[in-house]
Structure 1
Amino acid sequence: INRWGIWLMGAAAMVWLFDTFIAMALTLPRKRRTQKPAGKSWLQRWKPAWMIRRGAGAYKLNFDLHRAVGLWTFGLLLMLAFTSFSLNLYREIFYPVMSIVSETTPGPFETRTPTALHDPVEPQVSWPALFQKARTHADNRGWDEPIGDTFYSDNFAVFGVRFYYPGEDHDSGGMKVKSLYYDGRSAALIGEEEPWEGTVADVFSQLQFPLHSGRIVGLPGRIIVSIMGIAVAMLSITGLVIWWKKRKARVTSKRRKQEAAMAATTTP
């Protein structure tokens, strides 16, 4: 399957993740070679980084916004960057690493190798027969929810049947709903999922989308994530302004040094 776009977004998320830690480190007070002022602790020297100065000029306001907003939202930025990475590079990096760190329950999308995008697998099972089998299996598990929706992944040859009442597909904090998975050729049951069930690694994997979308805490979470989208855009713009100003200053300083050196060589 052509996943270049997903890999690109995953790589960008990894850069964002590492950049979040670097940005935090840059706000920390630097070690002073001279003796620090009496009575001024390390935390006191770090305190100005969390504040926005008033009436200090446009550039300083831009700098303070970039630094202070980044510090106050550090936890949320870190969470969004990590979940962006885990969701985009789930099969390539996240799931394999999770399997090493903690026991995981592999599903059909982890154990099967997909076919090429131009080579889909035609299903050999009718939908009515699949519905009947899924309903029987759900009843055997004590699942009272009706079939909410179904899908067929033609590159994995996997049917998915999800169970939930109308409008309640995200009622478990955005976690995955009860689901059964069937082979597209034989209709054999090849996997199942329940929200908040499984090993610690399974639940942590399930949490990635609810955390990224904010659904883990309902409407307030989605509002916060929406605001964070604005904050990320603001941090990107203010960061570019800081970079441009510093680059302009370096270019100007370099040109002046070159002019001074040329003047010195031409002076009799």
Structure 2
Amino acid sequence: FLDPVTGEIVGKREWGKISLHPEHLMSFLYKLHFTLHLPEWKGIDRWGIWLMGAAAMVWLFDTFIAMALTLPRKRRVQKPGGKSWMQRWKPAWMIRRGAGAYKLNFDLHRAVGLWVFGLLLMLAFTSFSLNLYREIFYPVMSMVSETTPGPFETRTPTALHDPVEPQVSWPELFAKARTEADNRGWEEPIGDTFYSDNFAVFGVRFYYPGEDHDSGGMKVKSLYYDGKSADLIGDEVPWEGTAADVFNQLQFPLHSGRIAGLPGRIIVSIMGIAVAMLSITGLVIWWKKRKARVASRKRKQEMALNSATYQ
């Protein structure tokens, strides 16, 4: 953190540092969320991202399977005056009272999962799309719909420990970006800049203070410059481009809930608790059924043994 007038260093942080200290706690949790802090191996530092992306794909398919398991079975013969298919599905959406601990656990797992099915599906899909964006999501999107590739989609990154040194000074970059933004009629100030040393790409983002966080990026305009020549090589304007471009832009705002502002972030926070509850209740159901299967198998083995002994 630098004083904007004197340039004096007034604070330091190591983003994502494995630490429970208040200074690093939030970035530690944030990085843990999508990488598990898995270390670099064989020159690749994306193992955790790929693992969590694969888990998100399993979660996505499991969400559909879980929905299917709540559906009532089809009856071969419909009894006269019997309940309709929707009437037989209705109990799955309800929580029984005073039915015992196990039934309460089962109802919480099934009913809550049904009520928040749409949000679960969105979180699972966006988890997959964000972690496996370059590997699967963007290539598939490009096959099924028209996309506008940017520098990060068209360039092949260098090896992890083979960065490209920039040949452009920051003052030169600021001047070029501000002039380009003015020519486009962008009134927003430069909010932040970055340099991706494995792609040799400078990014300059324009937004008013606070809009980068609150909107999840949907109020942030970006210009991209070549790290060696300073040539303009791409841009990104929220809500502009093809339908696929806008869909790509929406992945993080949807996943974080920021697309709906503070209410959206509150809903996604509650969903975090709901997912934890569904995981725990699901594990309890699996454990109970496993115990029942083991006990049933044991009884059958004892009956077979007793039968053999009697004969």
- TM-score bracket, normalised by the shorter chain, equals over 0.9
1:1-268 matches, within 5 Å, as 1-33=44-76, 35-36=78-79, 38-170=81-213, 172=215, 174-175=217-218, 177-268=220-311
C-alpha displacement of 1:31: 1.8
AA aligned opposite 2:102 = Y
Question: Whose relative contact order is higher, 1 or 2, with alpha carbons under 8 Å and at least 6 apart?
Answer: 1
TM-score normalised per structure 2: 0.84
Cα 1:37–1:25 change in 2 (3 A) is farther
Query: 2:202–2:227: 8 Å Cα contact kept in structure 1?
Result: yes
CA distance in 1 between counterparts of 2:97 and 2:304 reads 40
Cα deviation 1:8-43 (Å, max 9, x = unaligned) = 111000000000000000000012345446241000
C-alpha displacement of 1:85: 0.6
CA distance in 1 between counterparts of 2:153 and 2:281 reads 40
Structure 2: gaps (5+ residues):
1-43
RMSD: 1.3
Q: Secondary structure at the match of 2:224?
A: strand
Cα deviation 1:216-250 (Å, max 9, x = unaligned) = 11000000000000000000000000000000000
Structure 1: gaps (5+ residues):
none
Cα 1:152–1:173 change in 2 (3 A) is closer
AA aligned opposite 1:219 = L
CA distance in 2 between counterparts of 1:266 and 1:37 reads 51
CA distance in 1 between counterparts of 2:79 and 2:45 reads 57
CA distance in 2 between counterparts of 1:199 and 1:171 reads 24
The alignment covers a number of residue pairs equal to 268
Query: 2:216–2:256: 8 Å Cα contact kept in structure 1?
Result: no
CA distance in 2 between counterparts of 1:176 and 1:106 reads 20
Query: 1:172–1:195: 8 Å Cα contact kept in structure 2?
Result: no
CA distance in 1 between counterparts of 2:211 and 2:219 reads 11
C-alpha displacement of 1:254: 0.2
Q: Percent identity?
A: 90
AA aligned opposite 1:109 = F
AA aligned opposite 2:62 = D
CA distance in 2 between counterparts of 1:44 and 1:195 reads 44
AA aligned opposite 2:271 = M
AA aligned opposite 1:209 = F
Cα deviation 1:137-186 (Å, max 9, x = unaligned) = 11111111111100001111110000112222245564261110011111
CA distance in 1 between counterparts of 2:300 and 2:111 reads 34
Q: Secondary structure at the match of 1:139?
A: helix
Query: 2:206–2:220: 8 Å Cα contact kept in structure 1?
Result: yes
Query: 1:147–1:164: 8 Å Cα contact kept in structure 2?
Result: yes
Runs of 4+ in 1 over 6 A off after TM superposition: none
